[in-house]
Amino acid sequence: MAQVLEFKLPDLGEGLTEAEIVRWLVEVGDVVAIDQPVVEVETAKAMVEVPCPYGGVVTARFGEEGTELPVGAPLLTVAVGAPEGSSGSGEDSGSAPESSGGSGNVLVGYGTGAPAARRRRIRPDRLDRPVTEAPVSAAPVVKAPVLEAPVVKVLVADASVSEGPVPVVSPLVRRLARQNDIDLRRLAGSGPDGLILRADVDRAIRTAEETATATARAPQVQAQAPAPVQAPAVAVAAAPNGVAAAVDAERIPLRGVRGAVADKLSRSRTEIPDATCWVDADATELMAVRAAMNAATGPSTGPKVSVLALLARICTAALARFPELNSTVDTEAREIVRLSGVHLGFAAQTERGLVVPVVRDAHARNAESIGAEIARLTELARTGKLSPAQLTGGTFTLNNYGVFGVDGSTPIINHPEAAMLGVGRIMPKPWVHQGELAVRQVVQLSLTFDHRVCDGGTAGGFLRYVADCVEQPAVLLRTL
């Protein structure tokens, strides 16, 4: 006898608590193999294909494309067990899935290596009758409480409110609840072990708003009978604003990459006392050196080096001189944590929004190696295939906003880092060179830094060294 198993949205790592369904890769009735990808989801950091740890027939899917689900919510159910015509006993078939029906894996690339079975659709009337009549495949399993359970468990009774720790991990969830006057002790979490997720707080906010709206409408309805003259005046005054807000305004949910960027930038502005300094630099010599490097021929030549790769190499040399800027602040311990290695992030604009891929161990790479890694990560970013690990762990960020045709900016620090170097466009400008006015390739460099980790002298020294390397690339030879 077959057994219907429920596959829930697994923990995708990196502190992610929810994901949005982008595309289903299987239909109800399809046969799936162990570790076969069944759905493509978008988290706050990347697009991920989620494999199913069970092999069998898909009997139900939960959530349409575009639906946001918390970690632990049911994704689909799979009928696992004896095929049609099997003579095995119910006990044997019921215990088989426990021992060999699932791999327990979560992400693609960590499976058992078994080849994915070719998808084929099975008509519902061809499924073995014991599958449909088994107690585990009855309505309660198909109707898993994806939609019903959160509604029932939004609030708990007053008697259950007790002192003690609140089961919340994310500080963003706490802040969201605090801003909307939501008592977390009155919420029942839908996450593992009762963990309160952001979806639980959002649901409580919507419930509170609906209650407030219903309460506000009740007096207006009662006032219409005794005061028929005043009621139209109230309606006329309220209707234009309400209609305009509903018809003319577009509400775009802050979720996925956009939501993650909004949360991170808000946290940066809230927690970090940042300051910005900037300087114009003559990049004529740097551009000439790059042209000479890329024009070189012979057996020692390699791939072309980009301007961003040269600037990244300059950043690693500057951070070696000013390690204060390659650090982070532990607010709970009230300590500055200086980091030994440089993991260099660079801002990349994609169709999904702004992402910051990270070049690991940039301090140990030369310009050619950094350029190759930037090119590889940029291609993954454009195709939406960056993993969460490739978007986290940066210690310093390089932001080349000059590609947008602007000269300067005051970038927001990528929390929890301590600094970000911004680079404007390189363009011909009048410049005094060797005592004479000349047209030179000029770029504006800006450094935004966390004033807790250093003073202006350190930040100014870092930026001046970067500018010197841009104007005189030979300065870099001292550190090679």
Which positions are catalytic? 451, 455
Kindly tell me the sign of the dihedral angle through the C-alpha atoms of 331, 332, 337, 341.
negative
DSSP of 417-442 = -SEEEEE---EEEEEEETTEEEEEEE
| Max intra-chain CA distance, the chain | 96
- Which residues, in sequence order, are CB contacts of 196 under 8 Å at separation 6+? 166, 167, 168, 173, 184, 187, 189
DSSP of 45-114 = S-EEEEEESB-EEEEEE-S-TT-EEETTSEEEEEEES--TT----HHHHHHHIIIIIB----STTSS--P
Of 410, 431, 303, 430, the residue nearest 366 (C-alpha) = 303
CA distance 239 to 231: 12
CA distance 339 to 321: 13
For residue 416, say if its preceding peptide bond is cis, omega within 30 degrees of 0.
yes
Partners of 432 in the β-ladder: 437
CA distance 282 to 405: 18
Of 182, 200, 183, the residue nearest 191 (C-alpha) = 200
Residue 77: Cβ within 10 Å count: 24
Kindly tell me the sign of the dihedral angle through the C-alpha atoms of 376, 379, 381, 386.
negative
CA distance 132 to 153: 30
Query: Which residue in the block uniquely carries the two structure tokens 């959160």?
Result: 150
